[in-house]
Amino acid sequence: MRVQVASHVSDQKLLEKVQQQAFCLTICENDAIDLDSTMALKEDISRAHRLSLAPMLDWTDRDFRYLCRLISRHTLLYTEMVTTGALLHGDASRFLAHDDIEYPLALQLGGSDPAALAKCAILAQQQGYQEINLNVGCPSDRVQNGSFGACLMAEPNLVADCVRAMKDAVSLPVTVKTRLGIDELDSYQFLHEFVSAMVAADCDALILHARKAWLKGLSPKQNRDIPPLDYQRVYQIKQDFPNLHVDINGGVQTLAEALDHLQHVDGAMIGRAIYHRPYLLADADSQIFGDPTPVKTEAEIVEMMLPYIEQRMSQGRPLKSITRHMLGLFQGQAGARRWRRHLSENAHLPGADIQVIRDAMKLLG
């Protein structure tokens, strides 16, 4: 693996670069990069990007992703954000654990140190993840205190360094999820320059939440609602950077809306609408990806979940931690409220097992 260093990079950065590459070679010394396989992987991920599940803290854990995969075969799934510190100094195997059925699957990382991100990207590639996404959009105080998330938009050169470091370390696609701007840095020129830096760093895809973020004065929830949506600005970025894969995020509630956006950009990302009603994904394979495979019913999805739930419970996972993701599965159907209530009132009780779910099923219809 060759080391590429721009002429303006300092001796210290050169040293860090060499150390990073040495780490990569130590970890991957027996792993030859197959360029054909790499290109095929990127093509597969590019197709999956037509529709994706947004990374959502406390929500897109492996149990919810498993549920979503049973409903849609092709939708790209994102993990919750995982910080570089958690992976490098914590239990990496726990944070990276997933099931093969979840593919196509992307890991979202939070961090701002290029060398640390490169190491985490290597760990993710070893564990089978198919894309690395850098969080440059979360505006929470906790994330800002860690010097990553949306605040990084003010440092496009650093973000570009992070992307390059990961690209040098792994053969996976490296993408960035970000906003239209932050605070007073919200002009189209600012966004254009930020995107230009990502393109120069060979970023494989840009996921744009079609709102700016206020770093002070608004909570993360308020930052999802109060700053106005500006889809046209996202469309303009795609026009100005036609060779860059651009996904749109923010306020997308239905597959019909996703299809409308696909007239202007390469992909659409949906978050809370899917979490609150997972069965929204039922027609995604046919409508978004052109796969005519028959759609499974909600009841069939539940039956397919039961063996997985039993396995997870045998590993120590509480029933309530899984059923909380299933509360909205029957939304809009007769008995949906009884389903939700039964799970909410019984899944947390001592000795609760899958019979709680079977009993809840009897309350439908």
Active site residues: 138
- Is residue 335 marked as binding? no
Give the span between the Cα atoms of 137 and 293, in whole angstroms: 35
Alpha carbons 309 and 181: distance in angstroms, whole number: 41
Question: How far lies 163's CA from each of 7, 75, 299, in Å?
Answer: 18, 24, 43
Q: Is 56 annotated as a binding residue?
A: yes
Q: Would you say 55 is a known binding-site residue? A: yes
- Is there a binding annotation on residue 177? yes
Structure tokens at 105: 């699957």
From CA 179, how far away is CA 197, in angstroms rounded? 15
Task: Return d(Cα 107, Cα 241) in angstroms, integer.
Answer: 25
90 annotated ligand-binding residue: no
* C-alpha distance from residue 258 to each of 254, 265, 330, 358 (Å): 6, 10, 22, 34
- Cβ within 8 Å of residue 335, ≥6 positions away: 363, 364, 365
Residue 251, annotated ligand binder? yes
Question: Binding site for FMN: which residues?
Answer: 55-57, 108, 177, 209, 249-251, 271-272
Residue set of the binding site: 55-57, 108, 177, 209, 249-251, 271-272
